[in-house]
Amino acid sequence: MTEPLSFMMGQYQALFPVDRQYSRRHLWLQSAGADRWRVGFTAYSVRLLQDVYFLEWSIDEGTRVRDRQEIGEIESAKAVSSMFPPGAGTVIRFNPALLNDPSGINADPYGTGWLYEFAPDEDLLSAAEYLEYLRSAWEDAQRTIKGQMNEG
Amino acid sequence: MSQHQLTVVISQAQGRNPSKRRLEEDIAAALIGEPGISVTLVPHLYDMAPNHSGMQLLREVPGPLLVMGWLYERAIRWTLDRAGVRGHEGVTLLKAAEDVEDDEDSDEDTEEQRAAGGIGSLEVPDRSVWCLDLRVSESAGEFVNEIRRVRDELHTDEGSTTDLMSWIQGTPSAAQLQRYLQPERLLEARRAFDSGTATLDDKALLPEDTGRRWYPVIDYSRCTNCMECIDFCLFGVYGVDALDRILVEQQDSCKKGCPACSRVCPANAIIFPHHKTAAIAGAEGEVSGLKIDLTKLFGGDEGESAIEMAVRERDRELLLDGREAVGMSVGIRQKHRDEMDQLLADLDALQF
């Protein structure tokens, strides 16, 4: 089975290839050798961010990180966010191609726009499991965003 | 001879970053001797105290004025406004690539931008002031071309018959301001200073030193005079003028690094030009001026609202001052937002 799975974000169809695994932090992971996974933003993240123009890592390569540990910052035309790893593990190296120009994240989110290589300590989700999570979290996500709009 | 003089003032970068220095120097050098233009350099606009000679110079400029610096255009414009340097908003066409689209529709109501619902500036003299962010291009040529374009525009519809040089000679503070009339010498002195070979003459020529400052700048095109900032800030930064308009009265009472009042401002009118968040530093607004914070969705802690963040920042400064933290108990008004509809419309534009 090679067809990507799809999830409708309003009018927008986000696609999720099944040749890789996923995390609840809206990241994909694809094996890139022994104990080494490439990590990138899913179509869901990229759709929320839109055009990325600033990316900064706050940790060094080779750092062991906790789940929910902040590892960097990202800013786009519409949004800002701190960045978090897929879970606990080790950040092995960052994608050098993005360091000066993060626009690769938009151009090819599932390919050359990968963020970093990572050795996870924890189990990952399949595309189908991730999609199930998206369905359950989507209402919440919309509320979160609209809630901010109210509070400024 | 000098009809329609445009005065160009370059507000220098903080520190001595060589590439920034070079851009400033290349622009100044290209404009020295350019017909219809007087150019000079002052220290970083935001760091100059009101009585700094560079600020005095800006106040003395008689006609059309173009100020360029390492700040968002809004931050330049309203820092100047607070210092009493005012004029109609001149439209600049040199923008960062991603801003271009936004600016096309906003050109219509640039003048004082009262359409946006702000109380506007006061006592705006009949001349234009252009502001340029030096970060939008690395090419001196692009800036020089834009400045020439502005000058050429003057020939058709605006102009003063006195140039900076002849004007300054007649003012009471002429001696103080003399240095700014010799941009070549200023650049020379600066080069000597940077390379550690400055003579006493060079040092005498350079403007007074400025330290790094931190204080809010109000954008009156957005400010509705709602007074939330003065209620919220417990450090005596804000006051009101004779017309009961909100004012940043005691700039230096502000707490370095604290942007809390800007977070509580319902109109997003308070700028801290050196804050890391673009919307607080004075970038033109997206989604009504605020960026969506996706941190919570991407795995962060339960996201703090802007108010919670502001309260936490204020409490930290209170404690550092040896005072008691007040949390949410002081200066938080029940939010009533007229712009709710607008915000939802903006969100719909994202097509969720």
- Those of residues 296-315 in B touching chain A at CB distance below 8 A are 296-301, 303, 305-307
Instruction: Give the tokens for residue B244.
Output: 């009961």
Output the pTM of the full model.
Answer: 0.66
- Which residues in chain B are closer than 8 Å to A48, comparing Cβ atoms? 292, 294, 297
Which residue in B291, B343, B344 is closest to A80 by CB distance? B291
Which residue in B294, B295, B307 is closest to A151 by CB distance? B307
pLDDT digits (tens, 9 = 90+) for B162-186: 666 666 666 666 778 888 999 999 9
* CA dist., res. B93 & res. B236, Å (int): 39
| Residue B305 pLDDT exceeds 90 | no
Q: What is the pLDDT of residue A50?
A: 85
Chain A residues near any Cβ of chain B (below 8 Å): 9-12, 24-26, 45, 48-49, 51, 53, 67-68, 70, 75, 77-84, 141-142, 144-152
| Residue B109 pLDDT exceeds 60 | no
- Asked if A81's CB is within 8 angstroms of B293's CB, the reply is yes
Range of the domain at B298: 217-349
State whether B187 and B254 are in the same domain: no
Radius of gyration of chain B (CA): 21
How far does the CA of residue B279 sit from the closest CA of chain A (Å)? Answer: 10
State whether B231 and B175 are in the same domain: no
* CA dist., res. A145 & res. A141, Å (int): 6
- Which residues in chain A are closer than 8 Å to B294, comparing Cβ atoms? 45, 48-49, 79-81
What residues contact A115, with CB distance under 8 A and at least 6 apart? A27, A39, A40, A41, A83, A94, A95, A98, A105
| Residue B338 pLDDT exceeds 70 | no
State whether B17 and B97 are in the same domain: yes
CB pairs under 8 A between A and B: 98
State whether B81 and B137 are in the same domain: yes
State whether B138 and B39 are in the same domain: yes
Is B49 a domain residue? yes
Instruction: Report domain A22-151's class.
Output: mainly beta
* CA dist., res. B253 & res. B276, Å (int): 21
- Contact in structure between B352 and A142 (CB atoms under 8 Å): yes
State whether B201 and B234 are in the same domain: no
What residues contact B350, with CB distance under 8 A and at least 6 apart? A78
ipTM above 0.95, yes or no: no
Count of domains forming chain B: 2
The residue from B148, B170, B205 where one domain ends is B205
- Contact with chain A for residue B224, Cβ under 8 A: no
- Asked if B268's CB is within 8 angstroms of A26's CB, the reply is no
Residue of A nearest to B337 (CA): A150
State whether B201 and B221 are in the same domain: no
- Which residues in chain A are closer than 8 Å to B305, comparing Cβ atoms? 147-148, 151
State whether B256 and B170 are in the same domain: no
| Residue B64 pLDDT exceeds 90 | yes
What residues contact B210, with CB distance under 8 A and at least 6 apart? B43, B44, B47, B48, B49, B52
Q: Domain residue spans in chain A?
A: 22-151
What value does the mean pLDDT take over residues B176-201?
92
State whether B222 and B298 are in the same domain: yes
The residue from B165, B181, B205 where one domain ends is B205
Residue of A nearest to B333 (CA): A151
Is B61 a domain residue? yes
pLDDT over 90, % of chain B: 60
B324 or B104: which leads in pLDDT: B324
Beta bridge partners of B6: B37
State whether B200 and B178 are in the same domain: yes
Maximum distance among all alpha carbons in chain B? 66
The residue from B205, B240, B275 where one domain ends is B205
State whether B166 and B266 are in the same domain: no
**Residue B142: other Cβ atoms inside 10 A:** 13
| Residue A45 pLDDT exceeds 80 | yes
Which residue in B277, B298, B344 is closest to A149 by CB distance? B344
Is B211 a domain residue? no
Parallel, antiparallel, or unpaired: how do β-strands B292-293 and A79-83 relate?
A: parallel
pLDDT over 70, % of chain A: 93
How far does the CA of residue B111 sit from the closest CA of chain A (Å)? Answer: 26
Q: What is the pLDDT of residue B44?
A: 97
B340 or B48: which leads in pLDDT: B48
B78 or B308: which leads in pLDDT: B78
